[in-house]
A and B are shown apart, each in its own frame.
Chain A
Amino acid sequence: MEQRPNVYTDDKLYKRLLADKDITIDDALENEMVINMGPQHPATHGVLRLVLRLDGETVLSVVPELGYLHRGYEKMAEDMSYIEYIPHTDRLDYTATLCNNVAYVLAVEKLLGIEAPKRAQYIRMMAAELSRIAAHMVAIGTYAMDVGAVTMVMWTFREREKIQEIFDKLAGARFTTSYTRIGGVGADADSEVLKMVKDFLDQFHSSLDEMDKLLLGNRIFIERLEGIGVISKEDAVALGLTGPNLRSAGVEYDIRRAKPYLFYNEIDFKIPTYAEGDCLARYFIRGDEVRESVKILYQVLDKMPQGEVMANNPKHVLPHKTEIYSKMEELIHDFMIINYGINPPVGDVYFSAENPKGELGFYIVSNGTGQPWKMKIRSPSFCNLQALSKICKGAMISDVIAIIGSLDPVMGEADK
């Protein structure tokens, strides 16, 4: 085997190291240290990169750097029709694919001025809530793993796997679902799916309690989170935090209640809030939200009406595949929608929905053609990350891990 060069014996390398002027070792104890964290780091939830300035172990300042997953979503949207873009919304917040699907089609429907049938809206609600549970399962699992409880991620993924099985049946794909359509949903939820949801919910409560018992009986977990990363109510609002992170700071703002979309106004649920605004509150709130989602899902299953799942609006809504091949009218409409698009009126709308991470907003500018002139995605993770440098200031370096986990960013939508 070839002799490897050794830093200590190889003269050339050693001299080069000595000649390196970037390293100063005059007084190692007095110097502040700048360290790099990420973009490849197990605790940064993807490809977030932080540059930290440290004094010993205390964080003096944090500069997040984004863009390692910038895929050009908004540019691509300008080049494709409204229907073509649905699969792209899956990959925004990839832990809660169906929530994104629902938010996007609702934004387009607001622009078009159409509404999906009631059953479709109920199915969307069911899908979004299941997706919320799935997203929070990832959030709680990876959060606990970051602060040292590796077992947790196995338990939460076991539950998540059951939800993905339901998606497999409902949408035909377990992960990137692309299930919703403009004016409805891709396929009806048959009785088998509804039974699967019911069975899942029935056993979910006990496993959720089990998870809580595992974590909250653990002193290390509590002590690493309690009182860490506190953000005040005023700061949270000023920095534009939304979702669980805002509610854990004591602001009762949930779009499902504030501006009810779908049929959330017919559903009875609580909005959990905590006043503390620390990492532990951000853990509790996710658990509570999952419990509320379970309550919502039971009601949705009870109230699910019968009927169509696609709106009857041939100029904007794609006809069913079986009809395209047997009826002339439908064939023409299909051809027009696919080739020329759905041509919404000229104007701009902003629609936002409550996603697991916060407020996902779509700002669409239409110039009357089949493609949007401009599509802006207001992604919650991006805004939540903005608070990071404020929260981390003065914390210990080990707290930074807990704080990132508690803010729960998903880089897919933060970088877009």
Chain B
Amino acid sequence: MQFKELVTEKLKNQFSDSIVEVTDFRDDLSVLIKKEKIVEVAKFLKDDGDLQFAMCKDITAIDWATRKKRFTIVYQIFSLRNNFNLRIKANLDEEPWQIESVTSVWPGANWYERETYDMYGVIFSNHPDLRRMYMPEGFQYHPLRKDFPVLGIPGSLPLPKVIK
């Protein structure tokens, strides 16, 4: 329990006006921050001697569909030294859906951000290689958005040509 309070306190001291909300559900600490500060917060969390969140385990987005702030970007980070999982969230409030990339802090974030871009169409600025991860180049949609049907859009993906 003690480490949880330490993380919250340190973050609140350092970024008093950027921390929007701190929640603790089922023993998972998650911190909602303003999206402009994401790289600074990430750098701080990684480099601080007590915290040392050296590993980025996952990055994804949540599409809220009807909310005005449509997308939330979610970072799962991990401190090997303290054996602690922390979740950072940032809301995107307006189009174009864009957020700073954290690849400069965690090199492992590269593919997760590509995946999120592919699935949600969120643009990560300053990403070294922002291409689609799974879907073929030339595909126009972003499948995990809530307005994309599960069965896909007919004709959006071609079948191979059959030559007789």
Contacts and interface: CB of A to CB of B under 8 A. Distances in A.
Q: Do chains A and B directly touch (beta carbons under 8 Å) in the complex?
A: yes
Nearest to B64: A373
Interface in A100-122: 110-111, 113
Interface residues of B, number: 34
B11 interface: no
A195 interface: no
B44 interface: no
A266 B150 CA distance: 43
B56 interface: yes
B107 interface: yes
Nearest to A374: B62
Interface string B125-157: 000000011111000000110001010000000
A363 B143 contact: no
Given A76-B150, A240-B56, A259-B83, A347 B25 contact: yes
A374 B87 contact: no
Interface bracket on A = 35 or more
Interface stretch (A33-41, A81-89, A335-343, A378-386): A378-386
B107 A238 contact: yes
Contacts of B60: 363, 374, 376
A361 interface: yes
Given A251-B80, A378-B57, A72 B150 contact: yes
B84 to A, nearest CB: 9
A382 B26 CA distance: 27
Interface string B15-57: 0000000000110101000000000000000000000001111
Given A76-B150, A259-B83, A350-B85, A363 B119 contact: no
A106 to B, nearest CB: 12
Main secondary structure of the interface of A (DSSP, over half): mixed
Nearest to A382: B111
A240 B103 CA distance: 12
Contacts of B144: 74-75
A271 to B, nearest CB: 13
Contact of B107 (A72, A239, A361): A239
Contacts of A237: 54-55, 80
Nearest to A387: B108
Contact of B134 (A67, A111, A374): A67
B101 interface: no
| Among A72, A76, A359: residue with most chain B CB under 10 A | A72
A79 B134 CA distance: 20
Contacts of A373: 62
**Which of A75, A251, A347 has the most chain B CB within a 10 Å cutoff?**
A75
Contacts of B30: 348
Contacts of B132: 67
22 contacts: A66-B134, A67-B133, A67-B135, A67-B136, A70-B135, A74-B144, A78-B150, A238-B55, A238-B107, A240-B108, A253-B80, A348-B28, A350-B28, A350-B87, A352-B57, A359-B57, A361-B76, A363-B60, A363-B76, A376-B74, A383-B108, A415-B134
Interface of B: 25-26, 28, 30, 54-58, 60, 62-63, 74, 76, 80, 83, 85, 87, 106-108, 110-111, 115, 119, 132-136, 143-144, 148, 150
Given A72-B150, A386-B110, A416-B134, 11 more contacts: A70-B135, A75-B143, A242-B57, A251-B80, A258-B83, A259-B83, A348-B87, A350-B58, A352-B57, A378-B58, A415-B134
Interface of A: 66-67, 70, 72, 74-76, 78-79, 110-111, 113, 237-240, 242, 251, 253, 258-259, 347-350, 352, 359, 361, 363, 365, 373-374, 376, 378, 382-383, 386, 415-416
